[in-house]
Amino acid sequence: MQDLARIRAFVQVVDADGFSAAARLHGRSKALLSKYVTDLEDHLGVRLLNRTTRKLSMTEAGEAYYRDVRDLLQRLDDLDNSVAEQTSVPQGLLRVSAPRNYGETNLAPAIYSFLNTYDKVSLDLRLEDRKIDLVAEGVDVALRISDMPDSSLIARKIATTTLVLCASPALVERLGPLTHPEQLRTRPCIIDSNLSSPNGWRFKVNGQPLTIQVSGRVRVNSPVAVREAAIAGLGYAILPGYLAREPIQAGTLLHLLEDQFGDELGLQAVYPHRQHLPAKVRAFIDHLSDWFAERSLT
């Protein structure tokens, strides 16, 4: 960096045709500019400028050096401007990871609305239910539906959805009505391993929090698979409202303990770094936040 400052000082002095003029033009002291140029000459082992009290001129070596380093500094300045523009104007390829089912339905309209708004951004949308490593896989932002953000990443909550407890009519008929959460301790439950506490289901009874430890034969890391297992009568399940709504309306699932269970999940936008966030990522997260502020996540 110091060598670059010396080179830039040399070019500034030549362009301004003197140390005093360059100092006034660039807000630096004449003494500092003179020191930088002298240091540069000592480093190169050659005189670049002929100095007299009345006139400043370049040596033959100075002229050749000036031509090359002036072009080099211009390319560096152009590169700096290009990078700065990319961080201020949303553009370029945006790599996004999102859960498959939710990405195909609720998220897709919001994401495509963003692309219509920012026509300089292109999209690589990866729909998958696994939790990816953003840095290792080169993903700019991941959208996750979770009750707890990843502490190793920066997270911003975009929206929330209510969790519901449900089961198939056949299971309820076979095991009898569910009137209190305590009954779940001895009944089959479908475990969603994506939850922060998969086996600890949280309820509120008479205004007091209650956590019930549950178990079952089915453990899966996909909420869609949890829903299908519940419809098949394999156990009680916790589902996001947007996944449970249709089967409840169709009668293939029953909504249970509505007044005692109403936990929430957040739609989180997570990304690796807070500093120097690219404009495309910042604009994308802001767009989704505005989108869901006007619409229900469920």
pLDDT digits (tens, 9 = 90+) for 10-67: 888 888 888 888 888 788 888 888 899 899 889 889 999 988 767 788 888 888 888 8
- Kindly report, residue by residue over 97-134, the tens digit of the pLDDT: 988 877 777 788 889 999 999 998 999 998 887 777 78
Evaluate whether 154 touches 285 at the Cβ level (below 8 Å): no
Tell me the residue range of the domain where 32 lies. Answer: 2-86
Q: How many domains does the chain have?
A: 3
Say if 259 falls within a structural domain: yes
Considering the domain architecture, whether residues 261 and 238 belong to the same structural domain is answered as yes
Whether the full predicted model's pTM is greater than 0.85, yes or no, is: no
199 & 129 share domain = no
Residues 172 and 258 in one domain: yes
127-175 per-position pLDDT tens digit:
887 777 787 788 889 888 776 555 557 778 888 878 899 999 999 999 9
Q: Which DSSP state fits 103? A: I
Residue 298 lies in a domain: no
- pLDDT tens-digit profile of 18-29? 888 888 878 888
Residue 84: pLDDT above 70? no
Given a contact cutoff of 8 angstroms between Cβ atoms, the answer to whether 271 and 140 are in contact is: yes
pLDDT band at 96 (very low <50, low <70, confident <90, very high): very high
DSSP state of 222: -
Amino acid at 38: T
The answer to whether position 34 is within a domain reads: yes
Nearest-angstrom CA–CA distance, 17 and 24: 12
